[in-house]
Amino acid sequence: MSTNTTAKKVKVRFAPSPTGDLHVGNIRTALFDWAYARHTGGTFLFRIEDTDTTRVTDEYIQAAIDTLKWLGLNWDEGPEVGGENGPYLQSQRLDIYAHWAQKFLDQKDAYHCYCSPDELEAVREAQRAANVAPGYNGHCRELTADQIAAYKAQGREAVVRMRMPDGSTTFTDEIRGDVTFDHKFVPDFVLVRADGSPLYTLAVAVDDVLMKVTHVLRGEDLLSSTPRQIRVYQAMGVAIEDYPVFAHLPFVMGQDNAKLSKRNGEVSIAWYREQGYLPEAICNYLALLGWSPGDDRENVTMAELCELFTIDKVHSSPARFDMKKLEAINGDKIRALTLDEFLKWSLPFLNKANVITGSDSEIALVKQALPLIQERIVKLDEVPAMLRFLFVKDFKVEEASLSKVTDSASKDVLKRSLAELTPLTTWNHESIEAALRTSLIEEMGLKPRIAFGAVRIATTGSTISPPLFESMELLGKDASLARISAAIAL
């Protein structure tokens, strides 16, 4: 089977079934769909597959919507946007699926199956014992009226199954080339459960046709479902040239070469957001998992991704998730922020950590301090720890650093520092540095790490802080001298 959609405007869809937070694989798929739509001037459709009412909740649906917004993956059709092919929640399209299921029954493309779960399991066990590929054996394909009546008299409820013809299905995958499935490995499959609810294979195929989707970019775990979807297209009467083009994306693997999961890496995008990864950094890194712009660059903007993304540059081999590379990219993105952008992204983390209350004076001080740490952090959740010393009311040296300001050598450094800093009439980082370098380095002959280490801990409470002299300038003379005095008294 071949397809030809070259004359059509591209339309792709992202159709998650949100049974929890969207994960790395979901978002990589959404990103590729979005980038391809933007690259081709096509349409990006967002659809929610929520027919599994036992697992999909309104909270998860809203979280999926919010996550795409946060990442900047704006959609042209879908929830909150609308469009001519709605509704975009499958739970609101049940009458559509019921119509097509009945049509398939009327056409004899589908049939009612009354086999019980126990009977189906017994068949599978026998097939395994005979070393035969497990699958439905077609027991109910040609039931007589009397057999159907007998099953109904027993109170059995029927599912609707699609008939798979003999032969095979071949289609061209844009990433993997021609793919063939022998139908002996694709048995008759269920379209509708006994309670009348549609299964994925029915709903996804019907929606892709009715919503005029031209390209289906999705994970390779769904590759084996493709012949079933093509069978639904056939039963719907869709011409071959109007089938969507398929492109199955490679798996994302953990460092242990197993498929990425909570066991070998964090998969939830919500976790990365809470940790302080920028959305553009996440998109930049995920774009490189299975796709390449054609050179060795690792820093790709969203605009460049839209300009460069094509399916032929997507690899078929699995991609390996590397947290250190993501952190490096995130650090690069943080350093590229303007001061106002850095402030906007940092304030929620400072508020959440109760470092600031949000007053104008606090925000002004934060804005002064941020340039001191922009080169030093790789995640936004590091900002509170770096700046807390400026705002804490009950200042204390952290427990792990106490020993470094209470020994006799450190006491000498702190006493000398206090004596040199107290007379200063101009309090800025230049004057502070000049005073301490003259007294501690030149006169006392100390190495900088030893000379300034105790002062850093005394004034900021930690061995890790923004540049010392600039920190003391922002902290102010009174607070700086008071903290040094308190450390001497420890």
Q: Look at residue 40 and tell me if it is in a domain.
A: yes
Average pLDDT in the 8-35 region?
Answer: 94
Catalytic residue among 9, 152, 262, 415: 262
Q: What is the mean pLDDT of the chain?
A: 93
| Same domain for 100 and 184 | yes
* Per-residue confidence (pLDDT) for residue 4, from 0 to 100: 46
| Same domain for 321 and 186 | no
Give the tens place of pLDDT for each residue, 144-196. Answer: 999 999 999 999 999 999 999 999 999 999 999 999 999 999 999 999 999 99
Number of domains in the chain: 5
Average pLDDT in the 202-213 region?
Answer: 98
Q: Look at residue 454 and tell me if it is in a domain.
A: yes
Q: Look at residue 1 and tell me if it is in a domain.
A: no
Q: Look at residue 225 and tell me if it is in a domain.
A: yes
Candidate from 49-53, 197-201, 466-470 with smallest mean pLDDT? 49-53
* Per-residue confidence (pLDDT) for residue 449, from 0 to 100: 85
Question: Does 300 score more than 70 pLDDT?
Answer: yes
Provide the 8-state DSSP code for 165: P
Strands 245-249 and 252-253: unpaired
Higher pLDDT, 469 or 400: 469
Q: Look at residue 183 and tell me if it is in a domain.
A: yes
Give the tens place of pLDDT for each residue, 304-334. Answer: 999 999 999 999 999 999 999 999 999 999 9
Average pLDDT in the 228-247 region?
Answer: 98
| Same domain for 478 and 404 | yes
- Name the residue among 30, 459, 75 with its Cα closest to residue 219: 30
Average pLDDT in the 26-32 region?
Answer: 96
Q: Is 283 annotated as a binding residue?
A: no
Q: The domain containing residue 319 runs over which residues?
A: 269-335
| Same domain for 330 and 289 | yes
User: Which residues 6+ apart lie within 8 Å of 299 measured at CB?
Assistant: 284, 329, 332
| Same domain for 360 and 331 | no
CATH number at residue 57: 3.40.50.620
Query: In angstroms, rounded to a whole number, what is the distance separating the alpha carbons of residues 16 and 481?
Result: 57
- Name the residue among 223, 93, 227 with its Cα closest to residue 162: 227
* Per-residue confidence (pLDDT) for residue 451, from 0 to 100: 84
Q: Which H or E run contains 23?
A: none
Average pLDDT in the 371-400 region?
Answer: 93
CATH number at residue 143: 3.90.800.10
* Per-residue confidence (pLDDT) for residue 264, from 0 to 100: 57
| Same domain for 36 and 63 | yes
With a pLDDT cut of 70, the percent of the chain lying above it is: 97
Provide the 8-state DSSP code for 350: H
Provide the 8-state DSSP code for 246: E
Q: Is 333 annotated as a binding residue?
A: no
| Same domain for 356 and 316 | no
| Same domain for 425 and 452 | yes
Query: What is the number of H-type helices and E-type strands within the chain?
Result: 20, 11
Q: Is 306 annotated as a binding residue?
A: no
Phi, psi of 447 (to 5 degrees): -75, 150
Query: In angstroms, rounded to a whole number, what is the distance separating the alpha carbons of residues 260 and 94?
Result: 33
CATH number at residue 359: 1.10.8
Give the tens place of pLDDT for each residue, 240-250. Answer: 999 999 999 99
Q: Look at residue 99 and tell me if it is in a domain.
A: yes
Q: Active-site residue 262, yes or no?
A: yes
Q: Look at residue 256 and tell me if it is in a domain.
A: no
How many of the other CB atoms lie within 10 Å of CB of 197? 16
| Same domain for 169 and 121 | yes
* Per-residue confidence (pLDDT) for residue 263, from 0 to 100: 59
Beginning with the edge strand found earlier in the chain, give each strand of the sheet holding 159-162 in spatial order. 110-113, 159-162, 189-192
Q: Which H or E run contains 26?
A: helix 24-40
Candidate from 104-118, 287-301, 421-435 with smallest mean pLDDT? 287-301
| Same domain for 117 and 182 | yes
Q: Look at residue 258 and tell me if it is in a domain.
A: no
| Same domain for 122 and 179 | yes
CATH number at residue 465: 1.10.10.350
Strands 177-182 and 252-253: unpaired
Phi, psi of 24 (to 5 degrees): -55, -45
Query: In angstroms, rounded to a whole number, what is the distance separating the alpha carbons of residues 464 and 305?
Result: 36
| Same domain for 204 and 73 | yes
